[in-house]
Amino acid sequence: MELEKIPTVPTAEEVLDRAFRRAAVKRKEKLNKDRGNEEFVRSISSAVFDKLDDTVRKFPSFDALSPFYRETVNILFGIDRVKQSLGALAWAASQARSVGVSYAREMRHAEDTAVLRRRAVARISSIVHQVDTDLHFLNDVRNSLRKLPEVQDTFTVVIAGFPNVGKSSFIRLVSSAEPEIAGYAFTTKQVIVGHREIGRERIQFVDTPGVLDRPADERNVIEQQAMSAVTHVADVILFIIDASEECGYPLVDQIHLLDEIRRESDVPVEAVVNKADIFPGEGYPSMSTATGEGVMEVLDLLLRYRVSSPSSPLEDIQ
């Protein structure tokens, strides 16, 4: 995944400043004033083309992205809008080039090359300014893409549930991830990835933001990202229930969400009751991420879903 390598997207001013600087140097290299003007125009137009074209090329191809990343970009920005902006840049690049070429050709036989130079520069500047909003938007997309966690194609446990039930507390105990833990809802605002080495195997754990039991089209962007991880990256889902309702949400709503996740996903879902230190749940395995009680047993339960299971995970992890 090359998302962190996408370079900064320049503003229209930056594209033009850079092109002007390059062109000014080229112009000085010509002794003849008219040839200098011609070179100035050629140089600006090719510098603008190169920068815009390069920006489009360095963006990831969304069709090649894995479904999780594609859906995340779609949730956050809308794939169509991103594609539209990239298309606008490609249009501006080719317009700037053809304007430059045709003015430079005209300048070969012109009396007053300075007038044509000024006109060409004005046309090219206007073309680049037309895509300034697209450039700003694409830079926002770039900044968000860089911050997305790297989800690898390995055995993956996705932790899901209502807000404030102890999902982050669990992943902190069992993996390298160090998410924030706090006694209020929506502490976790994006998908967080952690790992755990078991023998020679690297298991991936994905912490997700809390999801409420409500229709999919009413879910906010944070909840939608959680559901995208649940449906696209999990090999097994750990659904954490807070039967004490200390999280602030009724048990019945949590079970409703559990049923939805069971329906929506093609992978096994293990439901576990957390906060057993204050309220023991019935009908599900239980644990307390506060005291550590039952946590390793839950881990053992999840790791049984690995395809290769050379030895009991409990032996490896204790």
What residues line the site for ligand GTP (CB under 6 A)?
Answer: 163-169, 181-183, 185-188, 209-210, 274-275, 277-278, 288-290
The least distance separating ligand GTP from the CB of residue 266, rounded to whole angstroms, comes to 24
**Residue 168 engages Mg ion in binding (rule: CB under 5 A):** yes
- With beta carbons less than 8 A apart as the criterion, state whether 120 and 167 touch: no
For β-strands 192-198 and 201-207, DSSP reports them as antiparallel
The least distance separating ligand GTP from the CB of residue 21, rounded to whole angstroms, comes to 48
Instruction: Report the residue count for the chain.
Output: 318
Closest-CB residue for ligand GTP?
A: 210
278 binds, among ligand GTP, Mg ion, none (CB under 5 to 8 A by kind): ligand GTP
186 binds, among ligand GTP, Mg ion, none (CB under 5 to 8 A by kind): ligand GTP
Tokens of 195: 């790992």
Of residues 238, 218, 219, 222, the one with CA closest to residue 230: 238
187, with CB counted inside 10 A (0-12, 13-18, 19+), is middle
What's the CA gap between 101 and 123, in Å, rounded?
Answer: 12
Binding mask 185-224 for Mg ion (x = CB under 5 A): --xx------------------------------------
Considering beta carbons, is residue 95 or 168 the nearer one to ligand GTP?
168
Of residues 194, 34, 12, the one with CA closest to residue 108: 34
Tokens of 240: 């954490």
The least distance separating ligand GTP from the CB of residue 181, rounded to whole angstroms, comes to 4
What is the 8-class DSSP label of residue 5?
Answer: G
Considering beta carbons, is residue 164 or 231 the nearer one to ligand GTP?
164
For CA atoms 171, 174, 179, 184, give the dihedral sign: positive
Considering beta carbons, is residue 114 or 181 the nearer one to ligand GTP?
181
174, with CB counted inside 10 A (0-12, 13-18, 19+), is buried
Considering beta carbons, is residue 93 or 159 the nearer one to ligand GTP?
159
What's the CA gap between 51 and 145, in Å, rounded?
Answer: 20
- With beta carbons less than 8 A apart as the criterion, state whether 117 and 37 touch: yes
The least distance separating Mg ion from the CB of residue 316, rounded to whole angstroms, comes to 26
Considering beta carbons, is residue 116 or 247 the nearer one to ligand GTP?
247
Considering beta carbons, is residue 94 or 187 the nearer one to Mg ion?
187
- For Mg ion, the binding residues in 40-59 under the rule CB under 5 A are none
Residue range at the interface with Mg ion (CB under 5 A); choices 26-34, 61-69, 143-151, 182-190: 182-190
Residues lying near Mg ion in the complex (CB under 5 A): 167-168, 187-188
